[in-house]
Structure 1
Amino acid sequence: MRFFSLLPALLVGLATAEDGSQAWLRYAPVPNANRYHSLPLSIVALNSTKSSPVYTAGQELQKGIKGIFQEQLNVNSAGKGSSSIIVGTIDAYSKAYGDCDEFKELEDDGFYLSTEGRDVKIIGKNERGALYGAFEYLSRLAQGNFASDSYLANPHAPIRWTNEWDNMDGSIERGYGGPSIFFQNGYVADNVTRAAEYARLLASIRINGIIINNVNANVTLLSARNIEGLGRLADVMRPYGVQLGISLNFSSPQSFGGLSSYDPLDPSVDAWWTNTTNTIYKRVPDMAGYLVKANSEGQPGPLTYNRTLADGANMFARAVKPHGGVIMFRAFVYDNHINESNWKNDRANAAVEFFKDLDGKFDENVVVQIKYGPIDFQVREPASPLFSTLRNTSTSIELQVTPEYLGQNCHLVYLAPLWKEILDFDTRADNKSSKVSNIISGQRFKRPLGGSAGVVNVGTNTTWLGSHLAMSNLYAYGALAWDPSADSVDILREWIRLTFGFDEKVSDTIIEMSMKSWPAYENYSGNLGIQTLTDIIYTHFGPNPASQDGNGWGQWTRADKFSIGMDRTVKNGTGNAGQYSPEVAQRYENIETTPDNLLLWFHHVNYTQKLKSGKSVIQHFYDAHYEGAATAQTFVSLWESLKGKVDEERYNHIMFRQVFQAGHSLVWRDSINQFYHNLSEIPDEAKRVGNHPYRIEAEKMSLDGYKTYAVNPFHTASGYTAIVTTTNSTTGTATTTVPFDSGAYDIAINYYDLIGGKASYEVSLNNRTIGAWRGDLEDKLGHAPSIYLDGHSATRITFKGVEVTKGDTLKIVGRPDGIEPAPIDYVSFLPPGVVD
C-alpha cells in the first residue's frame, strides 16, 4: 500500500484557466491528500483488447489517479501479488480470482464497487458496467471521498441514449455549441477525435447509446461513403461502451433507393430496408438501432399510404431484429395545420389519438419515444398522458438538454427539477402507483425495454454546449437516466465539485443560482401553464406571445381581450384532461383542484379569475414577470462574488452570459407584460407596466442620421418604437439633455443586435466617452439569432458608476454594418440598486 505526501498548497489552490473541454473529468488534484491513507500499487484490467471498455477503464483509472494524486500506477492485464485496483467483468474476475457471491444481483450495465480490504474491486456485469464502475470510483476520489465501503449499482432502465440533431452539412438544429463534431460538407467528418472525447463524457455518466444525426434525417447518410464513416465513428466510441445509432428518413427507399414507393407493406420496400440494414451492420456490428420521426412536421411516414404507425415501426424492427437492434419510434406525431377556430381542436391530444389504438401492435424491439409533455419541451407542461395509455408497448421519455424553448444556453436554466417533476409524476394507471419513471423502465407494465432519450446537441465549442453552466444539465440527464430517484441538489453539488472544485462558497452560490433558475425563467417567460411565450414560428428564443395563436401549430393560448387559456376539460373543451387516468383526469377537469401552475393549460378563464393566492390571473402575470426578472438580476451579483475563486477564463465566460440574461430577462418582462396589458386593458396594481421613470426613449432624442422605426412585435420595444440609421452606410447620432439629478448612475442602453452585421457604437457625456461596443453577440452567444428588430435581437449593455451632472449632453453615435442599422431602443439612468 502506498501513502501519499501532502500536495503542495499551490497545486490545489490555484484557479488556473480552463476552457471546459474536460467538463467534469478534470481529475484536478485533491486538497489535503495526506488525510487519505492509501492506494493500491497497480491497476489490473482484466481485458487487454484495446477496443474493450475494460481496457479503457484501466487507462482511465491510470489517467485519473495521475491527475488527482500525481501518482503513476502501472496497468496490467493480470496480477496477484501487490495490492491492486481490479477492474473487469464477473466472468473475467471469476476466472482469475474465483467466484464471488457479491456479484450475483448485478444486471446488465451494473457494477460492484468495493474499497474495503487490500484491493479495490470494480466488477461489471458486462464490460460497459466495469467501465461505469471505474468512472464511479474516480468520481469518488475526485470529490475527496475515500470512505471504505462496498455496494452494487444497477441501471433503472436499459436504454439511456442521447439524440443529436446534427445535419450533414455540419450545422446543428437547435445546437448552441458550434458546428457538428460528426458531419462536415455532406459527409461523416474525417477527424473523429472529438467524437471519441464525447463518447468518454457520455460513458462517465452511463449513457450507452447515441443517435448522431437529426431526426429530420437526410437520406444521403445511407451512401456507401457515409456508412464507412459511421463505422469509423462506431470504432472510436466502442471502447467507451457507447453504441452508435442513426435517424432515418422514411422515404429513403424512394428518394434515395430509386424504388417507386416507400410503403412499409410493399415487399420491395421491406427488402430494401433489410438489405440496407444488413450493410450497415456489416460495418457497425453493434449498432444500437434506428430512431424514426414519421408523419410529423412534414416528415414522410406510413400514413401517406394509409398504413399505421405500427406498420412503419415494425418494418424497421424486422430489419434490425437479427442484429439485436432497437427501433426508437417518436410519438411526436401531429398535424401542424389544425384550425384554431374549432374549439375542440388540440395538438396536445395528438399523441394519444395517434397511438392509443396501436398499443400492443408494435414488435417487441420497438420503443415509443414520448416527449415529457404533450406539446414540445415547454417551461411547464403536465406529463404526457401517453405514458399511462400504452400498457403493452415499451416506452421511453424524451427530454431536451439543449434548451430550445428555455433560453438556448444564454439563460441559466437548470433542468433537473423540471425533469424530476415529470419523472416523479404518478399517472395512477388502474388506480395504482404508476410513476412515469417506473413506466419508462418497463417495471410498471412489465415491458422488456424502455428508458430515456436526451436531445443534447453538443458542438465543437470547448464548452460542448456553448455554456459552462449548461453542462450541469448533461450531467443531470445521465444521473437521472441511471437513477430517477436522485436528488436535483445532490446531482448539482456533485457536478460542481468535479467541475469547479471544493470551495464551499462556489458550490453554495452555483446551487443557489441554479435552483432558482427554472422558477425565474418560468416567471418571466410564461407562467400558470400558458407555455413559454416565445416566438414559435421563428427562433424560439425571445418573447412573442401573439405568435402562439392564429396559426396551425397548435401551441395556442386562445388569448383575447377578456380571457386566456386552453379549455382542455371534457365537459366544455378539447377533452385532453380525459386522456389521463380517472384520478388524474378528475383533478384536472375541476378548476378548483387544478394546480395554479397548470391552470391555463387546462382551463380558459377571465383575466380577473382569482388564483389560490388570491391574486387575479393578470396581476399574477404582472407580478411574476417582475419577480422572475428581478431574480435574474441577482445572478450577476452572485456570480461576481466568486471572482478569484473560479479561474478567470470560465469566470468571464459565465459572467458575460449572466449579464446578458439579466438584460434579456427585462426584455421578456416588459414585452409580455406590455402585450397583456394592452390586450386586457387591465392596469397593473403596482403601476409598473409601461411606467419607466428612469428611461429616455431613443425616438425622443435629437436625431441626426437616425430615423424612428416601428418595431414588430410592437411590445419588444419600449414605447413600441426604436431608431435605426437612415441608410446602411450613414452614421447616426442621437443626443439628449440629461434630466436627472446629479450623481452616480449605471447607464444602460437597450439596442438590437442583428445577425448579418456588426454595428459599432460609442456613448459619451459632454463629449467624454464613457463606453463603446459592437453588435457582435452572434460571435459570443450560441442562441438562434435574428435578422429583425424583435425580442430575439433585443439586448442591453450597461456602464456602471458613471458620474452624471444634470443638464449633461448624452450622445450615442451608431455606425451601421451590413444589414445592422445600429438600432437603439432606449437609455436608462439607474441609481445604485435600481433596475428599471
Structure 2
Amino acid sequence: MRLLIAVLLVVLAAAEDGSRAWLRYARVPNASSYRFLPSSIVALNSTSSSPIYTAGRELQKGIRGILGTHININGTAKQGSPSIVVGTVDAYQKIYGDLDEVEDLAGDGFFLSTEGRNVVIVGQNERGALYGAFEYLSRLGQEKFDPVAYVSNPHAPIRWVNEWDNLDGSIERGYAGPSIFFRDGYVVDNVTRVAEYARLLASIRINGIIINNVNANPELLNSRNIEGLGRLADVMRPYGVQLGISLNFASPQRFGGLDSFDPLDPKVDAWWANITDKIYSRVPDMAGYLVKANSEGQPGPLTYNRTLADGANMFARATKPHGGIVMFRAFVYDNHINPANWTADRANAGVEFFQHLDGKFDDNVVVQIKYGPIDFQVREPPSPLFSTLRKTSTAIELQVTQEYLGHQCHLVYLAPLWKEILEYDLRADDKPSKVKDIISSERFKRPLGGSAAVVNVGTNTTWIGSHLAMSNLYAYGIMAWDPSVEPDEVLQDWIRLTFGFDRQVIETMTDMSLKSWPAYENYTGNLGIQTLTDILYAHYGPNPASQDNNGWGQWTRADKDSLGMDRTVKNGTGNARQYPPAIARMYENVETTPDNLLLWFHHVPYTQRLKSGKTVIQHFYDAHYDGASVAQTFVKQWESLEGKIDVERYEHVRFLQTYQAGHALVWRDAINQFYYNLSEIPDEAKRVGNHPYRIEAEKMSLSGYKRYAVSPFHTASGYTAVITTSNSTIGIATANITYASGTYDIAVNYYDLIGGKAQYQLDIGNRTIGTWTGDLEDRLGHAPSIYLDGHSATRITFRGVKVNKGDMLKIVGRPDGIEPAPIDYVSFLPPGLVD
C-alpha cells in the first residue's frame, strides 16, 4: 500500500509539470451536473492520419478526463442513440441531411451545437472539425454547460507560428531548452514531442508552423533533412498543422554549387523550382516558405540590384504549383546607419524598401510585418507599412518569446499590447482602417493575410520556459482566430483550463497578468523611449547607453539636456509622414502626440511638461519606482495561492516572481541612475542614488575580495562591486551593523555569471542566515551574461531576520570557473519596505 501511494504521488507530481498546458482535461468540480452527454462519438469518414480521427480520439480523451465518463468511438450512430457527431460539412450532410447553419462557414471554420439530442461538430474542412472538437472540450473544461449553437470562422486564413531553431539544436531567443526539431545538424528522429506541440497548436487553431530560424542554414535542404521534414509533417498532419521552412537566399550558391543566387538568373530560378519539387514530393501539403533577405547581414536580391519583389516572386513561382505561400519578411534595414545623421531613421526602412513595390508581388506572396517599425519593443506605434501596402497581402508578426520583454523570466502578459495594435485605426484614405482589418484583407481586399508569431518552444516541460508565459501562446492563437476577444476574457479561460476554478486563483492571476505589461513598461522604458535594454548583447538587462551611437538605428538620442527621436517632418526624420494624414498630423505635433509615444516621435528637453503636469525626467523617476513596486507585489500575490496550486508549478512560479522582483529593482536603479547622471536633474522625491538601507560591498572590510568597476556603471549600486582576487581565492567581506536592533529582510544583490557556480554564505553575528549558489544559468531560461552587468545582476532575500546593532555582517564567497563570487550590496530592510 505504501508503495502504491508513493507511485501515485510521483504520478500526480509529474502530471503538473506544465507539459499538458491548457489541455490538462482535469475533472471539473460539477461534472455530475452535465446531464446531456451523448453515449457515443461518431467520427465521420476518418482515417488514422485525418484530423477527424484525431478529433474523435481527443473527444474521447477529454470527456474521460473532464467528466469521468468513457465514450466509445463509432463510424456511424446507433439507431435512436444520442451521439457526438464530428466531421466535415459534406460528410455530415450525406448522412444527416442539409444543415442550414453551415452556409456561412469559411475555410477552417466550424459549427458547434449542443442544443439537440446530438452534439454536432461540423467543420468546413477536416481541420475545422478538429477545431470545433477542441472548442467543445474547452467549454466542458470550463464548465460552460449551457446549450449553444453557433458558427465560428477565422478572422484570417494565415495563423502561423515561427520557430527560430537552428540545425545544431540551439534556439535563437529561445528560453526553454534545446530544439524539439533539430539536433547535431539534422531533423530529430524522435518526433513525439513535435506531435504534442502540434496538438497544442491545433487546440488554439494555429494552422502553420515555420520550424527553423529565419537566419536559415542552407543545409536544411540536404536529402537527409528533407526526409526529416517529411517525418515532422507526418506527425503534425493529423492535427491540421502544416509545416513550412525558412530559406537562406544564397542556398543555390552556398549549398547548390551554382556561381550565383541572382533571382533573375534562369539557373537559380530552376534550382529553386527543383528543390521545391523535391520537398513537396515528401511533404505534399507543405505550407510554404518564410524568407528573411537583405537584413542584418542575410543575403538577398539587393546583392544583385534586384528588387525584394524579384526575390519573393522567385519563391512564389516555385511554390505556386503546389499551393504554397511565401511569407516575405518586411524586416529589412541597414544595420550600419550613421548616428551623426539627424534624419537617419531605422523606423523608416519598412516603407522605404517596400512602398514602391506595392502590387508587384505575386498573389501567393504575403509581406510579414512586425507590429511596430523597430523590433518588438514594449511600446511602439503600429508600423506605417500596414497602411502603405494596398495591393499586397500582409500579415502581422508578433512575438510570444519575450526577446526584449524579460525572456520569460519576467511576467509580461502580452495580449493587451497586441490588442492595442490590432485595434489601432490607421485611417487610410480617411476611412476606418484598423490593423486587424488590414491583415485580414477585409480593408484592402487582397487574396491572403493573417498573423505569425515567434514562439520558440523547447524541450523544457513548460514549453517556453515559464508556466505563466504560456498565457501568451494561448492568447496569440485565440486572438489570431478572433481579434475582437478581450484580453482579460482570454486570460481567464486560460487560467481555468490550466490552473482550475478556485476564485482566488483566477482573480489573483488575472490581476497580476493585467498589471504586468504596464509594470514592465514602467520599469524598463516608458513614454515611447523603447525598452532600454542592451541591444548590442543579450536584449535582456538594462543598458540605455547601448541604444545610441551605433549603426543599428535603435536610438534614443539622449544627451545632457534632452532625449527622444525627432520623427517629425518639420525638424526630424520624417517618419510621421509615412502614416496617413490624420495620424501624421497627430504625431507631428508634440501637443497632440500621446504621452506614451512622446519620445518615439519627439526630441524634447528633460524638463518638458507632460499632460500629467510632470516633467519628462520626473515621470521617468516615478514610473521606474512605480513599476518596480508593482513587481514586488507579484511575489506576495502568488504566495497567497500556496496550497491552491500544485507544488511543482507553485514553486517554479514563486522562484520566477521572486527573481523578477529583484531584477525589477536592478532595472529601476540602473535607468534612473543613468538619466540622473546624464541630466544632473535630481529626483524631487530624493530617491535616486539615495539608499540608506544599503551597505555597499566595496565599503566593507575585504579579504580575498577586491573592488571592481562595473560596466555599464549604472548596473551597480555606487558603480562598484567586489570580486575575488583570483578564481581560487575565497573572498570574505565584513561590516559592523549600524542599524537599530530589530527584525529585517536582508537582501544581497550579486551577479550570477554563466560559466561558473560560485557559492555564498551569509552570517550575522555567529549565525549562518543562509547559503546559496550562483546557478541561475540552470534555473532561468536564458544564459544571463559572462560579465558583471544588468543581465547578470540579481538578488536573494532572507526574510524576518533578527538583527542586533553592532553584530558582524559577513559574506563568504567561493568562486567557481569564471564566476568570481561578485557582490554589489546588502540591504537591511524593515519588513514591507523595498529599498
Q: Report TM bin, short chain.
A: over 0.9
Which residue pairs with 1:54 in the alignment?
52
Q: Does 1:521 align with 2:523?
A: no
Which residue pairs with 1:274 in the alignment?
273
Shift of 1:19: 0.1
Which residue pairs with 2:355 in the alignment?
356
Which residue pairs with 1:304 in the alignment?
303
Which residue pairs with 2:3 in the alignment?
none
Which residue pairs with 1:734 in the alignment?
733
Which residue pairs with 1:587 in the alignment?
586
State the distance in 2 between where 1:617 and 1:292 align: 41
Please list the CA deviations of residues 290-316 of structure 1 after superposition, one character each: whole Å capped at 9, or x if unmatched: 000000000000000000000000000
Counterpart residue type for residue 56 of structure 2: G
Counterpart residue type for residue 208 of structure 2: G
State the distance in 2 between where 1:619 and 1:15 align: 48
Matches within 5 A, 1:618-629: 618-629=617-628
Which residue pairs with 2:193 in the alignment?
194
Which residue pairs with 2:155 in the alignment?
156
Structure 2, gaps ≥5 residues long: 1-7
Of 15, 18, 21, 2:16 maps to 18
Counterpart residue type for residue 43 of structure 2: A
Please list the CA deviations of residues 414-447 of structure 1 after superposition, one character each: whole Å capped at 9, or x if unmatched: 0000000000000000000000000000110001
Shift of 1:99: 1.7
State the distance in 1 between where 2:368 and 2:282 align: 26
State the distance in 2 between where 1:551 and 1:244 align: 38
Shift of 1:38: 2.1
State the distance in 2 between where 1:411 and 1:532 align: 14
1:609–1:616 contact (8 Å) kept in structure 2: yes
Counterpart residue type for residue 615 of structure 1: K
Alignment size in residue pairs: 825
Shift of 1:737: 0.2
Which residue pairs with 2:455 in the alignment?
456
Which residue pairs with 1:713 in the alignment?
712
Please list the CA deviations of residues 483-541 of structure 1 after superposition, one character each: whole Å capped at 9, or x if unmatched: 01110000000000000000010000000000000000000000000000000000000
The alignment's TM-score, normalised by the length of structure 1, stands at 0.98
1:161–1:210 contact (8 Å) kept in structure 2: yes
**Secondary structure of the corresponding residue to residue 750 of structure 2:** strand
Which residue pairs with 2:247 in the alignment?
248
Shift of 1:199: 0.1
Matches within 5 A, 1:100-119: 100-119=99-118
Please list the CA deviations of residues 250-306 of structure 1 after superposition, one character each: whole Å capped at 9, or x if unmatched: 000000000000000000000000000000000000000000000000000000000
1:261–1:269 contact (8 Å) kept in structure 2: yes
**Secondary structure of the corresponding residue to residue 819 of structure 1:** coil
- Deviates further, 511-520 or 66-75: 66-75
Change (3 A) 1:15 1:216: closer
- Deviates further, 30-39 or 185-194: 30-39
Shift of 1:124: 0.2
State the distance in 2 between where 1:818 and 1:320 align: 51
2:294–2:301 contact (8 Å) kept in structure 1: yes
Counterpart residue type for residue 71 of structure 2: L
Shift of 1:70: 1.5
Counterpart residue type for residue 70 of structure 1: G
Of 44, 60, 65, 2:42 maps to 44
Q: Does 1:469 align with 2:461?
A: no
Matches within 5 A, 1:528-547: 528-547=527-546
**Secondary structure of the corresponding residue to residue 729 of structure 1:** coil
State the distance in 1 between where 2:76 and 2:172 align: 47
State the distance in 1 between where 2:329 and 2:485 align: 26
Structure 1, gaps ≥5 residues long: 1-9
State the distance in 2 between where 1:549 and 1:32 align: 58
Shift of 1:94: 1.1
Please list the CA deviations of residues 597-623 of structure 1 after superposition, one character each: whole Å capped at 9, or x if unmatched: 000000000000000000000000000
Which residue pairs with 2:440 in the alignment?
441
Which residue pairs with 2:30 in the alignment?
32
State the distance in 2 between where 1:767 and 1:236 align: 61
Which residue pairs with 1:688 in the alignment?
687
Matches within 5 A, 1:194-593: 194-593=193-592
State the distance in 2 between where 1:173 and 1:190 align: 22
2:13–2:648 contact (8 Å) kept in structure 1: no
Instruction: Tell me the percent identity.
Output: 78
Shift of 1:17: 5.9
Q: Does 1:97 align with 2:96?
A: yes
Shift of 1:71: 1.0
Shift of 1:201: 0.1
Which residue pairs with 2:803 in the alignment?
804
State the distance in 2 between where 1:16 and 1:772 align: 28
1:46–1:88 contact (8 Å) kept in structure 2: yes
Counterpart residue type for residue 706 of structure 1: Y
State the distance in 1 between where 2:515 and 2:69 align: 40
State the distance in 2 between where 1:398 and 1:48 align: 34
State the distance in 2 between where 1:100 and 1:346 align: 56
Counterpart residue type for residue 618 of structure 1: I
Shift of 1:37: 1.6
2:759–2:772 contact (8 Å) kept in structure 1: yes
Shift of 1:76: 1.1
Shift of 1:366: 0.1
Counterpart residue type for residue 556 of structure 2: T
Shift of 1:16: 8.7
1:17–1:650 contact (8 Å) kept in structure 2: no
Which residue pairs with 1:675 in the alignment?
674
Shift of 1:784: 3.8
State the distance in 2 between where 1:692 and 1:701 align: 16
Which residue pairs with 1:6 in the alignment?
none
Change (3 A) 1:585 1:220: same
State the distance in 2 between where 1:15 and 1:314 align: 52
2:754–2:783 contact (8 Å) kept in structure 1: no
State the distance in 2 between where 1:26 and 1:141 align: 12
State the distance in 2 between where 1:821 and 1:810 align: 20
State the distance in 2 between where 1:518 and 1:105 align: 37
Shift of 1:32: 2.0
Please list the CA deviations of residues 546-595 of structure 1 after superposition, one character each: whole Å capped at 9, or x if unmatched: 00001000000000000000000001000000000000000000000000
State the distance in 1 between where 2:250 and 2:780 align: 36
**Secondary structure of the corresponding residue to residue 235 of structure 1:** helix
Change (3 A) 1:509 1:829: same
State the distance in 2 between where 1:77 and 1:700 align: 78
State the distance in 2 between where 1:505 and 1:47 align: 45
Which residue pairs with 2:5 in the alignment?
none
Shift of 1:15: 9.4
State the distance in 1 between where 2:13 and 2:142 align: 17
The alignment's TM-score, normalised by the length of structure 2, stands at 0.98
**Secondary structure of the corresponding residue to residue 695 of structure 2:** strand
State the distance in 2 between where 1:15 and 1:812 align: 36
- Deviates further, 776-785 or 319-328: 776-785
Please list the CA deviations of residues 214-239 of structure 1 after superposition, one character each: whole Å capped at 9, or x if unmatched: 00000000000000000000000000
**Secondary structure of the corresponding residue to residue 104 of structure 2:** coil
Shift of 1:36: 1.9
Counterpart residue type for residue 687 of structure 1: K
**Secondary structure of the corresponding residue to residue 104 of structure 1:** helix
**Secondary structure of the corresponding residue to residue 316 of structure 2:** helix
Please list the CA deviations of residues 136-167 of structure 1 after superposition, one character each: whole Å capped at 9, or x if unmatched: 00000000111112000000000000000000
Counterpart residue type for residue 75 of structure 1: I
Which residue pairs with 2:697 in the alignment?
698
**Secondary structure of the corresponding residue to residue 611 of structure 2:** coil
Counterpart residue type for residue 456 of structure 2: N
**Secondary structure of the corresponding residue to residue 219 of structure 2:** helix
Which residue pairs with 2:604 in the alignment?
605
Change (3 A) 1:15 1:148: farther
